[in-house]
Structure formats: C-alpha cells, structure tokens
Chains A and B, each alone.
Chain A
Amino acid sequence: MNDKYPELQLGPVRFNLANDIPMLIAAVVVFLLVFYLSRKPKLRPGGKQNLLEWIIDFTNGIVKGEMPGKEGNTFKLFIFTMFLFVFMMNQLGLFIDVKIDGYTWFHSPTASPLITMTLAMIVLVLSHYYGVKNKGFKGYLKGYVTPMAFMAPINLLEEFTNFMTLSLRLYGNIFAGEVLVMLIRNLGLMGGHAAFVAFPFGFIVEMVWQGFSVFIGSIQAYIFVTLGTVYMSHKAVSE
C-alpha cells in the first residue's frame, strides 16, 4: 500500500529492513524449530522426531511425485528448507505487524514481490543448473526445441512466465491477505459513533480472515514448492 519502509544504504545496494528483518527472523525460527525437533534422533522415534519426520516425508513426497528416480534426492533438502522457509514467512507476518511512525518494520516478506522473485529465481537457477548437469549442455539446449524447432520461442517465453507466475502467485496471495488484514483492522479500530458495532464486527471478521490466511499461507507454501519441483523436474530429468 502506501507504507513507508525503513531502508539501509550500503554503498550501491539498498536494503529494505522491513523485508530483511522478518526474513532473518523466519530463518532463525525455522532453524531453531528443526534444530529442536531433530535433537537425539532415535531408531524408534518419539513425539518431536515424529513431527519432523512427518514434515520430511511430506516434502519428500512432493519431490518423489515429480522425480521418482534418484535425481530427486538432490532436491529433497532444498524443497524441505524452501517449504518451511516460505511457510514461516507467510505465517509470521500474519500476526506480527510492526509499524513505528508510519514505517513498517515487520510484515510477511513474501508480501513483497522482490522477495518472492528472489525465491523463484533460486528455484529456476537451480533448475537450469541441474538441467545442464544432468543432461549435458547439448541436452539442455535440446529442451528448448522439443517437441519441434518452431516451439523455441514459446519455450523461451515459458521460462519467463514460469518465473513470473511462480513469484507473483505467492506475492499476490500473501500481499492480498495482508492488505485485507489491515483493512479489517482499520475498520475495527475506526472509532467514532459506530465504534461499538464496528469493533466486535471487525474483531470477529479479522479472526476469521486470519484463520483463513493461515490456510492460504500453508497452501501457497505447498504450491510454491510443488511448482518449483515441477519446473526443476522438467529441466533436470530426461524422459
């Protein structure tokens, strides 16, 4: 919206702290979570190990669905980390929203297109890298002229649209969710004569919408890694 963001200029590069701080916090939370869950792994797993193994099985299942063979093993850790990272970034900004003097200090980093594009770029660069690695440079280039040579422009365009859809889908969902959270909050806190109607109404609707946003955030994290896996498998696996 029309928020102002705190920025930090280091030489030529500028950092948007409203993206970087929550991203760092999300990464730390993800790490502490899995670090805690993975202490003293046993052959007969207990409660927290079961939870972690369930998440691992879940993300491994996404990878196996697209790449049943050995190639999939390369991406399992990547997809696991990406899923938890995106999930955590989606959820953190939902209930933590820090604004000081009109400056936003904390929101979902995935509500910024820059961050989702960064993530999508990591996925796509990896897909091209493993495309070359697994098929050779010739095989990789051949991927652009399949099934026919005149398809090359469409294939090239597809690379661009893959990148845009992957990043903007995540951004759009989370950004819209955040905007609506803010609008409902503003409605609830508008004060004036209608305050005693608006506040309970806003409170309840806000709760409902946040619950739904938790759902959206989880689904979007799942979709992001699933589509990322699909793009990577297209490049990296020879049929």
Chain B
Amino acid sequence: MIYGLIGAAGLELGDFLFGLLTFIVLMLLVGKFAWKPVVGMMAARQDKITGDLDYADKSRAEAQDLLAKRQDELKNTQAEAVTIVNNAKANGEKQEKEIVAAAHEEASSIKSKAQQDIAQAKQDALNGARDQVADLSVTIASKIIGKSLKAEDQQALIDDYIKGLGD
C-alpha cells in the first residue's frame, strides 16, 4: 500500500493519464452510441405520454359537452312529443264531437223528413179516400134519388160531412 501511495505521488503518472483518457473516451462513446438514442427515446416517450394525456383530457371535455347537448336535445324532443300527442288528442276529441253532432243532425233531419213524408202520405190517402167516398156517395145518391146530382155542387156538403167523420 505504501508502494501504491508513493507511486501515486509521482512515479506512475502514466496510470493517471491512461485512466483520464480511458474515461473521457468511454464517456464520449457511451454518450454518442447509447445515451443519446435511448435518452432521446425516453424524452420522446415522455412527450407522447404528455400529449396523450392532454388529448384524453380534451376528448373527455368534448364528450361531456356533447353529452350535455344530447341531453338537452332529448329533453326538448320529449317536450315536443308530449305536445304533439296532446294536440292529436285534442284534435281527435274535437273531430269526434263534430262527427257525433253531424250524425245527430242528419238523423234528426231524416226523422223529420220521414215524419213529413208520413204526414203527406196520410193526407194523400185521406184526400183520395174523401174523393172516392164523395164520388161513391154521389153515385149512390143519384141512384137512389134517380136523378143525377152534380158532384161539384155537392162537394162542399160532403167535405163537411167527411170532416165530421174524420174527427
């Protein structure tokens, strides 16, 4: 050991120079061939991770915006749908009422017309019967009395008579 220390002091300067040179050359070579590419790659990876994280944050914010928008739209759509259904219901009820009213009206008009027709027919029948009875009476009377009576002259009399019968 003493030998070594004395050597270090002056005798073996060569080792010092050699060690220095070896270390410097080693550092340069390691730096050029191993350190630079690998550390560069590590830095690139760090950049990529940072970028990816930023991108993910941005994407999430965008997705949330989109979601809020969609929810708003959905709410609007639901309200719209309710309005449409309500309108349809109101329209339906209105139409129903109209149809029923129209049916009522038609039915009553048909009924009144039928009553009119019936009354007319009854009147016609009565009139026909009255005429025939008048003719028949005249014929019978003329046969009985033997002289021909003028139907026109007796008409008023017979009408009165018939009316009394009808009532």
Contacts and interface: CB of A to CB of B under 8 A. Distances in A.
Given A16-B7, A41-B37, A119 B23 contact: yes
Contact of A175 (B1, B11, B26): B1
Interface in B2-17: 4-5, 7-8, 11-17
Contact of B37 (A38, A78, A109): A38
A175 B39 CA distance: 35
Interface string A19-46: 1100110010011001101100111010
Interface of B: 1, 4-5, 7-8, 11-20, 22-23, 25-27, 29-31, 33-35, 37-42, 44-45, 48
A118 B15 contact: yes
B24 to A, nearest CB: 8
B19 A118 contact: yes
B104 to A, nearest CB: 85
A80 B34 CA distance: 11
A7 B3 CA distance: 14
B34 A13 contact: no
Contacts of A78: 27
A214 interface: no
Contact of A114 (B8, B33, B37, B48): B8
A1 to B, nearest CB: 8
Nearest to B18: A20
Interface stretch (A49-57, A92-100, A184-192): A49-57
Contact of B14 (A10, A76, A121, A175): A10
A113 B8 contact: yes
A112 interface: yes
B38 A115 contact: no
B12 A31 contact: no
A91 to B, nearest CB: 16
A31 B42 CA distance: 20
A14 interface: yes
A151 interface: no
A98 B14 CA distance: 21
B78 to A, nearest CB: 48
B4 A114 contact: yes
Interface in A48-76: 49, 52-53, 56, 76
B11 A14 contact: yes
Contacts of B22: 23-24, 27
A86 to B, nearest CB: 10
Contacts of B20: 118, 122
A16 B33 contact: no
Given A27-B26, A81-B23, A122-B23, A13 B17 contact: yes
